[in-house]
Amino acid sequence: MALDSKTNSLEEFWIPFTNNRGFKKNPRLIVEAKGTYMTTHKGGTVIDASSGLFCSPAGHCHPKIVEAVHTAMQKITYVAPFGTGQPLSFALAERVARMMPEDINHVFFVNSGSEAIDTALKIIMAYHTVKGENRHRFISREKAYHGVNIGGVSLSGLVNNRRSFPVVMPNVVHMRHTWTEDELKTPGQRESGADRAEDLQRAIDNFGAETIAACFVEPVAGSTGVLTPPVGYLERLRKICDDNSILLVFDDVICGFGRLGAPFSADKFAVKPDIVTMAKALTNGSIPMGAVAVRDDIYETMMDAAPEGGIEFFHGYTYSGHPAACAAGLAALDIYQHEGLFERARDLTPYFTRAIHSLDDHPLVRDIRSIGLMAGVELHAGDTAGARGVAAQAEMFWKGMHVKFTGDCGIVAPMFICEHAQIDEIVDKFRATLDGLQR
């Protein structure tokens, strides 16, 4: 499929999170993809160094997912998820629940990470309401990214994602982020910044624990450049939440499904949240889907509080648990298990870590943070913050590599199916691009 007269205009499609005017002058289109590589509309080959947007650890167009969706679609293309159901959603919920900590066994399906966050917010509000508590305040963090719906934007700590939208949710308090300049270019968890967990205690001291509903964190802040949790930080948040009956939410939209070299953040850091949000790799990115998994007593409290015969939670989407998404999810989980992809991500981590940190010495690199199969390569800003990142991303694409950039930080997240040679290719192309930018 090439650009043809029917698609040549490019004007009608308003491209998300993209410089539309620049893109339309010099489009970067992918027309086909297989495994780790994609093909551009000009016939070029591009290695996908960010698994799309951290979505596709098993590679593009995995035949088992394509087949599973095709088979499901021949039987059912749509079932109303309110009041009726279809078997695949129950099967997938059970599979997801089995991957969670033992007392998290209830799963609500949505269509994206942003919907997972808004759904988690509503579950938490409804839960405290039925308990008769007035916990209306939410704690989040600077530099957090929790998607783009109003709830997620309210929790997020990224100024560009907020400044055009003056009316967001009230009563959100942001803790400081955990990045410091003390241990630049150190792989894994760092020591510095753990004391910032005390910001949660300060919010409690300031507003009263009885007003605080939940604390949302990405265990590793992904989209803002792989900010790893300092040693002891998540443990301290857990303790403060426990002491004050505050729910702890792990937003695992990026970290979930093996990205950290363990199935979920709870496994990686040995800290148990009360609620987990997920999306992206749930279906290997093939069909939009997200989910919220909650602790049993939260679900049971909601069930018990509703009148007999009444709906327990007035929330849901037309496409919650869509059969195509469930089929894709079940196939993706089968692939992760049968191909041992989480273990492969864990085993590739030392090689990836060494390879990506070989860029530490580059004069344009300010910091590299890495954990599991994910690294943020932060460049020194040029005259305008973010401009160097935009230039680097475009240049990498024409050199045959896709990397997701946030501002001046390139976020490398290879597919779990990568071989060492592909990790080398990613790092070589990254370095060659930086060399070119320097001149």
Ligand X SMILES: Cc1ncc(COP(=O)(O)O)c(C=O)c1O
Q: Which residues bind ligand X (CB under 6 A)?
A: 53, 112-114, 117, 145-147, 218, 222-223, 251, 253-254, 279
CB 153 within 8 Å of CB 139: no
What beta strand segments (E) does 211-295 contain? 212-217, 247-251, 275-278, 290-295
The helix/strand/coil state of 392 is helix
Helical pair 323-338 and 341-357, crossing angle rounded to 10 deg: 70
Task: Provide, rounded to whole angstroms, the least separation between the CB of residue 111 and ligand X.
Answer: 8
Task: Provide, rounded to whole angstroms, the least separation between the CB of residue 332 and ligand X.
Answer: 15
Task: Provide, rounded to whole angstroms, the least separation between the CB of residue 55 and ligand X.
Answer: 9
Cβ distance to ligand X smaller for residue 218 or 367: 218
Task: Provide, rounded to whole angstroms, the least separation between the CB of residue 263 and ligand X.
Answer: 16
Cβ distance to ligand X smaller for residue 144 or 194: 144
HSE of 366, CA atoms in CB hemisphere, 13 A: 16
Cβ distance to ligand X smaller for residue 74 or 164: 164
Task: Provide, rounded to whole angstroms, the least separation between the CB of residue 314 and ligand X.
Answer: 22
320 CB burial (10 A radius; 0-12, 13-18, 19+): buried
Q: Which residue has the tokens 């370095």?
A: 431
Tokens of 372: 């599991």
Cβ distance to ligand X smaller for residue 88 or 117: 117
Cβ distance to ligand X smaller for residue 52 or 81: 52
Task: Measure the CA angle with vertex 55, ends 50 and 56; round to 5°.
Answer: 85
Cβ distance to ligand X smaller for residue 155 or 377: 155
Task: Provide, rounded to whole angstroms, the least separation between the CB of residue 418 and ligand X.
Answer: 21
Task: Provide, rounded to whole angstroms, the least separation between the CB of residue 269 and ligand X.
Answer: 15
How many other CB atoms sit within 10 Å of the CB of residue 435? 12
Instruction: Using alpha carbons, select from 384, 415, 400 the residue that is nearest to residue 39.
Output: 400
Cβ distance to ligand X smaller for residue 113 or 230: 113
Helical pair 63-75 and 323-338, crossing angle rounded to 10 deg: 150
Q: Rounded to whole angstroms, how far apart are CA atoms 151 and 168?
A: 7
DSSP 49-75: TTHHHHT-TT-BT-HHHHHHHHHHHHH
Cβ distance to ligand X smaller for residue 147 or 414: 147
Task: Provide, rounded to whole angstroms, the least separation between the CB of residue 132 and ligand X.
Answer: 30
